[in-house]
Structure 1
Amino acid sequence: MTQQGTDSEVGRLRTVLLHRPGPELQRLTPRNNDALLFDAIPWVARAQEEHDAFAAALREHGVEVLYLTDLLIETLAEEEARDRAIDTALTGLGLGETLRHHLARALRDASPDQLAGHLTAGIRNDEVRNGAGLVSSLLAPDDFLIAPLPNLLFTRDSSFWIGDRVAVTSLAMPARRRESQLTELIYTSHPRFAGTPRLLGAGTGDPMDGHVEGGDVLLLAPGVIALGVGERTTPAGAEHLARQAFEAGLAHTVLAVPIAQQRATMHLDTICTLVDVDRMVVYPNVVDQLQAYVVTPGEPIPGRPLPLEVAPPRPFLEAAAAAMGIDRLHHIDTGLDPVQAEREQWDDGNNTLALAPRLVVGYERNDATNAALESAGIEVVAIAGSELGSGRGGPRCMSCPIDRDPVTGHPVTGDAAG
């Protein structure tokens, strides 16, 4: 097993999981993009060019880039994993027995790379050959039997790491839940992750009764986790993750941060991301309204779930600084005024990916935000995102850090090493 893990948002990034845009984006149409939770219809070739440049920028800074599709194909080379992937994909789709049997047989005859393509880009009714019964006859030719997964681009949502443990999430929106199933398959069956401890997901044997998405999880400092709570990460999901993190010794404080569910602020990382050990880029139009419930572990009671102590809400930035053990969590505003802030937040100006303390990746189009970051001593690796941003996600959304160096130095003075 390769040693890997992360305990912060800003430690020197060593390994990251990405998904290069592929045929699943070519399945988007004006008729289905809303149902598939994509904001626009991207120019796929340009999105691929932009993503390749993003990956190249990471490699230029010493980051190992793993691709989800490559890992999936390698995983599907193993027969048991193939069978599990096919059975999971065909469960609960309302296909009927004849069509389900027909698809299962066709998928089992596919090569690993063909199967990966079917599982990510989906299968239309008119792509089924040799007849498949009444259900197939009654459906429209372009109806999807297995839906495409355009949001695979945003690898942060379906998994994240805390310490040396990986959490495979339970995505809230039905159109995205198969993303977690594929990610689960990789972490369960790929040799790269053999023996990796788990925090959430089927591998823990501890079912959840809520939802958690990785875009809502910020590792503010070792032992301190902020959780956005709303439509995507539910209160029950937040409680479950907090308890799991406490019981595993991965956190001493969790900040539960209620967020209003709007399309532009669906996750906490669309409102704020860390760019240094004590600096954060924030969306100023809403950050002053953010409150945090400070959650800490209570005294264990034999035979009962670990009790959680929940303090009354207080301002998020204030609560975060106290939990992190610093005098102040400095913030850098998105944009220069409320109107520009709204524009650049919509374009993911504050959804940055830290490569190291004071070194981040951001979209080049957010001129004011990038200038403010540079003025504050934060180096910005600017990438194109005209097409990548069409799904409403920035560099942080598009990346799942698997391994980071621990951050050293004193956070109050900012004397930190990458």
Structure 2
Amino acid sequence: MTKPIHVTSEIGKLDVVMLKRPAEEVENITPDTMPRLLFDDIPYLPIAQKEHDNFAQILRDNGTEVLYLENLAAEAIDAGNVKSSFLDKMLAESGYAVGADHDALKEYLMSLDTQAMVNKLFAGVRRNEIDFTPTDLVSAAEDPDYPFFMDPMPNAYFTRDPAASIGDGLSINHMTFAARQRESMFMETIIAHHPRFANKGLHVWRNRDHTHRIEGGDELVLSNHVLAIGVSQRTSATAIQDIARNLFKEDSGYDTVIAISIPHNHAMMHLDTVFTMINTDQFTVHPGILGEGGKIDTWTIHPGKDGDLTMEHNQDLKATLKSALDLDDLDLIPTGNGDPIVAPREQWNDGSNTLAIAPGVVVTYDRNYVSNEMLRQHGLKVLETISSELSRGRGGPRCMSMPLVREDLK
């Protein structure tokens, strides 16, 4: 029987996926809070929800069971009878560990039914929602005009990042920016308490209780023994070495981790915004990550003696992948056909962020028509999902999905 998390490739038929439907948290972005909340624009929620529903329906129409993070979280909290302790931890990570402010916020949130409480935590708690005047020094000393006691989590519809499925387990991630760090607490709770996941022998290869950052958009499961992880704005080299050691020593089946260094900037925040696997021997790649002659720094990591790691540096991405995956050749398909104007434009709108739902079958944003046509010319089946508003969050179909179960490749 397949475990509730089982992912041994990027491309095996997608059987079960977890999404988060964008909700009130998106409408709680303001021009002043966009930088704090990691947004460049404010999506129009009604259209964003229609687009997200369209995306979910494409997955269902292709045989994928769609689960929703917000529902799983509420069910887990109730199943584990951990509403109070969950709130204490959430409040502490929101800056209210103890004191009158903590007590007032907890009283308000505990008064909501569990699903409403979870929805409110994603949406954020506005100051005008509670008839309460802050008395703690920290709150009193902060900007009294700031509209929130607890910030919204508008990035939550990018379910790929807080956790990543690897084999029969997952990493539960310490994320880079404060705006997103609380998100992984929901997956931590689901794994611990939801009847579908708890006590099912799942491995947590790395938990969220770390200081070094890693995010799921940088974690690509290339095969049943090879993992690629981006060294990026959102994932550190130290975290990569840490998760490699854990995978190697815990009999995960993984014996190879390829660290791929990409530019550390907002446009290319994760590896999957510039590089994704879409078939056994085909990948999308944004030309902007490749240096002269197609060079890019990679380090192939293997287990060494006594828990040490061995590393081999290379600058030929194609050769590195061919060796690790035992391929005679592979097809690197350039975003935007490599055009110096089209490629960065479509990469900005996640033309490289493809979600494979079976070998050679991908879901992409419809707006990236040049990249989509290139994929078709290379023999891929392309399922386009509408994308005028969702793309304003700087994430595509892969970003918006956390695969939980994929079929093993034959």
TM-score (norm: length of structure 2) = 0.93
Which of these residues, 165, 181, 184, is aligned with residue 185 of structure 2? 181
Which of these residues, 245, 248, 267, is aligned with residue 247 of structure 2? 245
Alignment of 1:46-85 (within 5 A): 46-78=47-79, 80-85=81-86
Q: Secondary structure at the match of 2:73?
A: helix
- Which residue number in structure 2 is paired with residue 362 of structure 1? 364
Deviates more, 1:323-332 or 1:70-79: 70-79
TM-score (norm: length of structure 1) = 0.91
How many Å apart are 1:92 and its aligned residue? 4.7
For structure 2, which runs of at least 5 residues remain unmatched after alignment? none
Which of these residues, 254, 261, 283, is aligned with residue 280 of structure 1? 283
Alpha-carbon distance in 2 for matches of 1:114, 1:137: 28
- Which residue number in structure 2 is paired with residue 258 of structure 1? 261
Contact preservation (8 Å) 2:190, 2:198? no
Relative to 1, partners in 2 of residues 1:94 and 1:318: Cα closer, same or farther, differing over 3 Å?
A: same
Contact preservation (8 Å) 2:22, 2:157? yes
Deviations 1:319-360 (A, max 9, x none): 111100112221111113121111111111110000100100
How many Å apart are 1:49 and its aligned residue? 0.1
Return the letter of the residue paired with 2:395.
G
- Which residue number in structure 2 is paired with residue 3 of structure 1? 3
- 1:192 paired to 2:193: no
Contact preservation (8 Å) 1:238, 1:256? yes
Q: Secondary structure at the match of 2:341?
A: helix
How many Å apart are 1:110 and its aligned residue? 1.7
Deviates more, 1:371-380 or 1:141-150: 141-150
- Which residue number in structure 1 is paired with residue 296 of structure 2? 290
Contact preservation (8 Å) 2:171, 2:207? no
Deviates more, 1:382-391 or 1:77-86: 77-86
Q: Secondary structure at the match of 2:298?
A: strand
- 1:227 paired to 2:229: yes
Q: Secondary structure at the match of 2:397?
A: coil
- Which residue number in structure 2 is paired with residue 146 of structure 1? 150
- Which residue number in structure 1 is paired with residue 396 of structure 2? 394
How many Å apart are 1:66 and its aligned residue? 0.3
Alignment of 1:6-21 (within 5 A): 6-21=7-22
Alpha-carbon distance in 1 for matches of 2:300, 2:127: 50
Alignment of 1:302-381 (within 5 A): 306-336=307-337, 337-381=339-383
- Which residue number in structure 1 is paired with residue 126 of structure 2? 124
Alpha-carbon distance in 2 for matches of 1:270, 1:309: 28
Figure out how many residues of one structure are paired with residues of the other and give that number. Answer: 400
Alpha-carbon distance in 2 for matches of 1:92, 1:161: 24
Alpha-carbon distance in 2 for matches of 1:149, 1:37: 10
Relative to 1, partners in 2 of residues 1:368 and 1:294: Cα closer, same or farther, differing over 3 Å?
A: same
Q: Secondary structure at the match of 2:263?
A: coil
How many Å apart are 1:47 and its aligned residue? 0.2
Relative to 1, partners in 2 of residues 1:2 and 1:325: Cα closer, same or farther, differing over 3 Å?
A: closer
- Which residue number in structure 2 is paired with residue 414 of structure 1? none
Contact preservation (8 Å) 1:126, 1:141? no
Relative to 1, partners in 2 of residues 1:92 and 1:360: Cα closer, same or farther, differing over 3 Å?
A: closer
Contact preservation (8 Å) 2:206, 2:243? no
Contact preservation (8 Å) 1:209, 1:236? no
Deviates more, 1:121-130 or 1:171-180: 121-130
- 1:155 paired to 2:155: no
Deviations 1:212-248 (A, max 9, x none): 1100011122211111012311111101111111123
Alignment of 1:15-34 (within 5 A): 15-34=16-35
Relative to 1, partners in 2 of residues 1:33 and 1:102: Cα closer, same or farther, differing over 3 Å?
A: same
Contact preservation (8 Å) 1:334, 1:369? yes
Alpha-carbon distance in 2 for matches of 1:334, 1:202: 34
Return the letter of the residue paired with 2:257.
V
- Which residue number in structure 2 is paired with residue 172 of structure 1? 176
Alpha-carbon distance in 2 for matches of 1:31, 1:131: 23
Deviations 1:4-58 (A, max 9, x none): 3010000011000000000110100101011101121000000000000000000
Alpha-carbon distance in 2 for matches of 1:130, 1:32: 23
Deviates more, 1:135-144 or 1:385-394: 135-144
Contact preservation (8 Å) 1:364, 1:385? yes
